[in-house]
Amino acid sequence: MPDQRPVNSAGKDETVFANARLVLQDRVLDGAVTISDGLITDIRKGGAVPPGAVDCQRDFIAPGMVELHTDNLERHLQPRPSVHMPHAAAILAHDAELAGVGITTVFDAMRVGSMNSGGRAAKTDYAKYARGLATELLAVRATGALRISHFLHLRAEVCSETLVEELDEFTAEDRVGLISLMDHTPGQRQYRDVSKLAQYVQGRFGLNDEEFEAHVGFLHGLRKTYGDANEVAAIEVARKFGAVLASHDDTTDDQVTASAAQGIRLAEFPTTVEAARACHAQGIQIIMGAPNLIRGGSHSGNVAAMELAKLDLLDIVSSDYVPSALLSSAIMLAGVWDDLPRAIASVTANPADAAGLADRGRLEVGKRADLIRFGMFENTPVLRETWVQGRRVA
């Protein structure tokens, strides 16, 4: 991609976005923002368009979005249950898609912990893949071919025979920024309603009732045999790497209390209002999915993200499995809260802070020049440009 940055008379790389509506932390300012050498160097009020500046024609300029939990890379790797794409091509396509929807930092979710049912409902077995994929992702990143900033998010499946050995394959050099504890034992958390699990698993893998019951029994056995030890191992690895530790699908006050005791400060997709209230009482930030918000409900029958938003129990939004939904969800929240800066913060500053990334997520002098420019078509945002460290990438 050619360098999109103009060079001023002093030979310094500089871009000025003028006649824009700048989404700051506490207000929307009519003005201009200057970026230079990968950083935001000036923010000023007024509608003037200096010579050489980009006339944004009153479009919005906001920070680039920060994505903490997305399955999108896996979707590119395996677009159909029996179709596997080359990893490098999938990584590049995933990266380009995220840049194209305004995501400038991503924590790529990869499952660690495999499953071999020993012949019972073998269609549901999960093969090991994270270490090899992470190696390829880091190799592609090292070439400079990626448009946006990538970190690793390891989704630690506690119902697994191999979690500990798979975690041991990662080192501090792998840029693991987030580890989430995943427990998909039927009858609790995400699948408290086992009928929802049956609908998903039988629909995806074509299991009959007998095979599904065998699968459920197998998962219960894994949790009993490995679950507690796997949780301890994942927590220890997160501490060793300095990674943020997240819970997943908290449902009860007791589960949230246990999460807080483990040092968790980020809760992915709590499934009930009870759990969400407990998270806020414990100082745990809540992340919910943009598809849930836009669709008006959870596909698993759990609490709606919109309900939590209206109760002021929503801090961060994740695109989950629909990258384009992230900016749309922020605009939807702006209507709910009557506060565009607060809504934009749910996809920028809040996830950046939760991940310990102090250099991005805000339109402030000295922050990374990760920016998006968007207009509006009725109630739908129209992304026009994405910039990462002062370079246009989409």
Q: How far is CA 5 from CA 101, 149, 206, 295, 333, in A?
A: 20, 19, 52, 38, 33
For residue 391, the surrounding DSSP H or E stretch is strand 391-392
Residue 292 to residue 317: CA distance in whole angstroms: 10
pLDDT of residue 241: 94
Ramachandran assignment for 275, one of left (phi > 0), alpha (psi -120 to 50 degrees), beta (any other): alpha
> What would the pLDDT profile of 78-100 be if each residue is shown by its tens digit?
888 778 899 999 999 999 999 99
Residue 121 to residue 342: CA distance in whole angstroms: 46
pLDDT of residue 217: 73
pLDDT of residue 215: 72
Domain annotation for the chain: domains and CATH numbers: 1-63+361-394 (2.30.40.10), 65-360 (3.20.20.140)
Q: Say which DSSP state 64 is in.
A: P
Burial class of 228 by CB neighbour count within 10 A (0 to 12, 13 to 18, 19+): exposed
pLDDT of residue 123: 54
What is the spatial order of strands in the sheet that 176-182 belongs to?
65-70, 103-112, 149-157, 176-182, 244-248, 266-268, 285-289, 316-318
Q: How far is CA 172 from CA 134, 240, 241, 324, 350, in A?
A: 13, 8, 5, 31, 25
pLDDT of residue 318: 97
B/e letters for 2-40, b = 16+ CB within 10 Å, e = fewer, are eeebeeeeeeeebbbbbbbbbbbeeebbebbbbbbebbb
pLDDT of residue 140: 96
Handedness of CA 297, 302, 308, 310 (dihedral sign): positive
> What would the pLDDT profile of 66-76 be if each residue is shown by its tens digit?
999 998 998 99
pLDDT of residue 183: 83
For residue 375, the surrounding DSSP H or E stretch is strand 371-377
**Calculated CA dihedral for residues 195, 201, 202, 204, nearest 10 degrees:** 140
Residue 210 CA from chain centroid, whole number: 36
pLDDT of residue 211: 74
Q: In the predicted model, what is the mean pLDDT of the chain?
A: 89
CB contact at 8 A, 222 and 160: yes
Residue 382 to residue 54: CA distance in whole angstroms: 17
pLDDT of residue 11: 43
> What would the pLDDT profile of 213-225 be if each residue is shown by its tens digit?
777 777 777 778 8
Give every residue of the chain whose pLDDT is below 70, as ranges: 1-12, 116-126, 184-206, 299-300
Residue 17 to residue 34: CA distance in whole angstroms: 6
